[in-house]
Amino acid sequence: MAVSVVVDEKVVEAVYLAQEQCYEAAWSAAGKDGRYPVSVSVSRGQPDRKTIFAGSFLVDGQPPEIALSLRGQELDGEVVLRRQLMISPVLKEPEPIATWEISILDASGQIVKAENGRGNLPGRFSWWGQRQDGVMAEDGLYTVQVAVWDRAGNNAAVSANFLVLRKRPEINIVTEKHGDKVQVDLGYDGKVPLAFWRVELRSGSGTILQEASGEKLPARLMVPLSSESDKISCHIHGQDVLGNKVRQVVDNILALKSREDKTEDPADAKGLEENDWSVDF
């Protein structure tokens, strides 16, 4: 008995495999993408020949087309991870996917988190900012990359950048005495804009000497000195537009060095600031 396979009008002789007790035929795929019919011809001698349609196969040399969108908080047109980043990969032309892989890379190109799977690509991923070891990723620029492989082994990848910004805002304070008053200057030079701030200046006995609030800095306050003003504490509350909160407390602003003193000795002033400031969140 002779068995052959007819592929797109090309005849391929099949070989009998005694151990497997079956016939096998192999041929190179056509160079042009498309679907090709396959028939099996069985002959026991002329005129006893029978041809049976076996099906068809697809030649696919085109990689999948994939799009990627990120959803989170935004800052100046850039997506920012504050708590959770939503990652949505979409196949422009739906087709079965064999395997997929998603990776989060830092600014140096190192993978900080990765996951892969078989079968169709999930419609959405969520990343909560944790590295592979469970530690929270540091602030900075990151890239999410999604790669897919179809059943023919064609590969496609797409990527998008985003920021991780969890650093709490830090409000600067500078004091300067003017006779019987103390000038208090509040400043902020953080990358993320403030949403609001509020400050309370209290005497040593806890009496509120002055209160102020706003959305933007710098701001200047003038606090009168009195017999109770041997010590003036400063309590600052704030939040940036990404939701990062801060509460800063200066135990005694009268002990802070003046603007001139800081200019003359920056290193000493820095040490004093670090000792006098406490941050609680």
Can you give the pLDDT at residue 46?
Answer: 66
Are 14 and 99 in a shared domain? no
Instruction: Calculate the average pLDDT of the chain.
Output: 84
Residue listed under structure tokens 């406490």: 278
> What proportion of the chain, given as a percentage, has pLDDT over 70?
89
Are 190 and 274 in a shared domain? yes
**pLDDT tens for residues 150-180?**
988 899 999 999 999 988 899 999 998 888 8
Are 187 and 232 in a shared domain? yes
CA nearest to 146, candidates 119, 106, 116, 108: 116
Are 202 and 263 in a shared domain? yes
Are 227 and 246 in a shared domain? yes
Can you give the pLDDT at residue 104?
Answer: 97
**Which pairing describes strands 78-81 and 155-164: parallel, antiparallel, or unpaired?**
parallel
**pLDDT tens for residues 102-140?**
999 999 999 999 999 999 899 899 999 999 999 999 999
Residue 72 is encoded by which pair of tokens? 């989170």
Domain boundary among 12, 28, 59: 59
Can you give the pLDDT at residue 152?
Answer: 86
Are 55 and 71 in a shared domain? no
Q: Which CATH number covers residue 247?
A: 2.60.40.1930
Can you give the pLDDT at residue 59?
Answer: 80
Are 210 and 275 in a shared domain? yes
Can you give the pLDDT at residue 143?
Answer: 97
3-state secondary structure of 270: helix
User: How many structural domains does the chain have?
Assistant: 3
Q: Name the amino acid, one letter, at 116.
A: N
Domain that holds residue 16: 2-59
Are 155 and 221 in a shared domain? no
Are 184 and 265 in a shared domain? yes
Domain boundary among 30, 59, 88: 59
Q: Which CATH number covers residue 93?
A: 2.60.40.2550
Contact in structure between 256 and 249 (CB atoms under 8 Å)? no
pLDDT at 264 over 70: no
Domain boundary among 44, 59, 74: 59
Are 12 and 73 in a shared domain? no
Query: Residue 11: pLDDT band by 50, 70, 90 thresholds?
Result: confident
Can you give the pLDDT at residue 269?
Answer: 33
Burial class (CB in 10 A: 0-12, 13-18, 19+), 281: exposed
Can you give the pLDDT at residue 258?
Answer: 58
**pLDDT tens for residues 223-260?**
888 765 578 899 999 999 988 999 999 988 888 765 55
Number of other CB atoms surrounding residue 53 within 10 Å: 10
Q: Which of the listed ranges 73-87, 97-111, 196-210, 214-228 does the model predict with the highest average pLDDT?
A: 97-111
Can you give the pLDDT at residue 259?
Answer: 53
Global pTM reads 0.68
Number of other CB atoms surrounding residue 102 within 10 Å: 21
